[in-house]
Structure 1
């Protein structure tokens, strides 16, 4: 009887989408077992690839739009998704305000903003959706969601009653908030945040300290950004009597999680759990003999809500073996074997450059899967 494999990887950053990773895995398996049944379920954890994974899984459609990029002066062509008979919109904030949209030398979280994300939310509201799912990974912003809120009608004013400029570097100028123009449709719309991080807004584990440097912040800028976010949260608590800064995930996407909870009434969920639920992964794994997952890097952080961990948890409950493939296998993976993983395999040959590995990731994933399937006695995996 043919073996059945569920293929449920995340994207391999900068090299493969989750869908392309599924295709490479399938080729590797069928090079050995041509009659193998492969059920592809591209997965994401709220970060990059979440939108495309859900559009694929739910047979949705892409809606093109033009919005502001990381800098308000940029206009970019992008898209969001509609699923569930056009009643639910899926937005990936990185499609408007993602780190991949700026070269490293251009990144400056004092000035980048989430304005474009707010514009995408407004475009979805214009289509009459009842629910919006927003994936928060991959941002190049650190503005606490203030740009998003401005796009939806909130006014942030300084001591002279003038509008405060966009960006995380200007938040300390805010002295008052005017909600009279806030889009009333938000109150009738279910907003769900899909996030892969649990960081609060401020402090040593907050948005600025943990993620600021990858967005272009110097050590001095990190201090400014953290102080400004704390001021922003203080003004909101004083003016609106809303305190969300310490909720796990408030620091996601440079504090966009915080802004969405405050101004859009959003509820936050584990991104990978939400995607697993939407794609009906549990029902598909129940049919499988083996489960393959993976992403660009697997290490001690994988257990904190990353895609392979979420997949392994489902498979463990169903007593299915899980083989994970990664471009880079880092430190601290030993405990993952107690958390549902049967094997963790690096796909890259030794001593190749990162650039070469990224450029040829699909080939190396296919080869690694083929070699594993060819050489391993799968029966040993079944306990």
Structure 2
């Protein structure tokens, strides 16, 4: 009996990782009813991180926190024992901006800090924080305030939300924050190595994605520099140039400098949390995927991480996706033997989005026929696919 493990990320804007897995599993079982197929949804630290943890057996803890513009949003973290998995995208992310309206100068990370504070108050002593998809560039100031930090202007008033407000910080009091976070271990899922400021910093590289025009990018970069000066003076150590300090609009900097966080690649961390090594043991094939396979996939995204882990276990890997732009040699270098895309069987992109689950079942059939014992084999299947890779 063949054993298959499906460990895919979401198809963004279309299907969750769990839905992708269920559809591919249905297709495989249609072609090979005797196959043993398990689904382990994965994520890389961005949106879908909490969902992946819940699918792995964590419990959901719902709560209300401040969104990136201060409005309340219903969110949740995942908990197992004293470990909390928190997803910044779901509380302080671009997806939480009302009406999709960008707020590059005032968006705050405060809500993420509120979720951390709630988890710590509930007894969690280990925090895993996925920081992909953030909406703001506030240097993590909002997050720190939610954990008890006091950021005051020259008149002794709170400085307010957002990156632009960082220029008003005159004093920083971390006493209450340190009391709250004493003994709490923070690990941040982070796949970028940008410093906080400068031409490769948070504002310059990611500010435009969050709505900042060139003048606002310059203003935010200067504000982050002033914020780093103040915080460095308060804690006595310099972290603005650390790899990952510029992640999530500078949340990486705050986590490193104040919370003593450890930054780790998102997919590596998530594979540990979902117990991938145990799941992959003894399987004959791993199926991974995401909405689009491209060069970004190879730099810390879920399919590349899954493929690397499966290759280390000696298990072949194929991928499913909406669209694949990677040439054969790049797929093979990543450890993926074949990529099956929806666009190959349905040229209409809108239909790929609206009927993705049904189409993924068809890909599941192809995967089973090509890669599981008793099927026509890779060569036969590839001959039916334009640009296929054996």
Q: Is TM (by shorter chain) over 0.5? A: yes
SS at match of 1:188: coil
Deviates more, 1:221-230 or 1:310-319: 221-230
The residue matched to 2:127 in structure 1 has which SS?
A: strand
Runs of 4+ in 1 over 6 A off after TM superposition: none
Q: What secondary structure does 2:241 align onto?
A: coil
Summarize deviations over 1:179-232 as a string: whole Å, max 9, x none.
Answer: 233251312111111123332222333222222222222232222222222221
Aligned partners of 2:4, 2:106: CA distance in 1, in Å?
46
Structure-1 residue corresponding to 2:67: 69
Q: 1:340 to 1:242 in 2, by over 3 A?
A: same
Q: CA deviation at 1:40?
A: 0.9
Aligned to 2:135: 140
Q: Give 1:114's aligned residue.
A: 109
Equivalent runs, 1:314-329 vs 2, <5 Å: 314-329=309-324
Query: What displacement does 1:26 show?
Result: 0.1
What is the CA RMSD across the aligned residues, in angstroms?
Answer: 2.1
Deviates more, 1:176-185 or 1:251-260: 176-185
Unpaired runs of 5+ residues, structure 2, are: 383-389
Secondary structure of residue in 2 paired with 1:243: coil
Cα shift readout 1:43-98 (whole Å, capped 9, x = no counterpart): 111111111111221x22111111111112x0112111111x3x111111122111
Q: Distance in 2 between matches of 1:350 and 1:227?
A: 48
SS at match of 1:143: coil
CA apart distance, 1:283 = 2.4
SS of 1:55's partner is: helix
Partner residue of 2:205 out of 210, 235, 241: 210
Q: Secondary structure at the match of 1:153?
A: coil
Q: What number of residue pairs does the alignment pair up? A: 376
Q: Are the aligned partners of 2:125 and 2:185 in contact in 1 as well (CA < 8 Å)?
A: yes
What does 1:176-255 correspond to in 2, within 5 Å?
176-255=171-250
Q: Which residue of 1 aligns with 2:300?
A: 305
Alignment partner, residue 27 of structure 1: 26
Matched, 1:81 2:78: yes
Supply the distance in 1 between the matched residues of 2:135 and 2:178 (Cα, whole angstroms).
25
Matched ranges for 1:241-320 at <5 A: 241-320=236-315
For 1:47, the equivalent position in structure 2 comes to 46
Is 1:129 aligned to residue 133 of structure 2? no
Q: Which residue of 1 aligns with 2:36?
A: 37
Give how far 1:351 is off.
4.1
Instruction: Classify 1:367/1:206 alpha carbon distance in 2 versus 1 (closer, same or farther; 3 Å).
Output: farther
User: Shift in Å at residue 336 of structure 1?
Assistant: 3.3
Give the structure 2 partner of residue 345 of structure 1. Answer: 340
Q: Which deviates more from structure 2 when the two are superposed, residues 108-117 or residues 152-161? A: 152-161
CA contact (8 A) 1:142 1:225 kept: yes
Other-structure match for 2:386: none
Name the CA shift for 1:229/1:302 in 2 (closer, same or farther; >3 Å).
same
CA distance in 2, matches of 1:195, 1:338: 23
In 2, the alpha carbon distance for the partners of 1:169 and 1:275 equals 33
Name whichever of 341-350 and 269-278 sits farther off: 341-350
8 Å CA contact 2:195–2:245 kept in 1: the answer is yes
Q: What secondary structure, in the 3-state scheme, does the structure 1 residue paired with 2:10 have?
A: coil
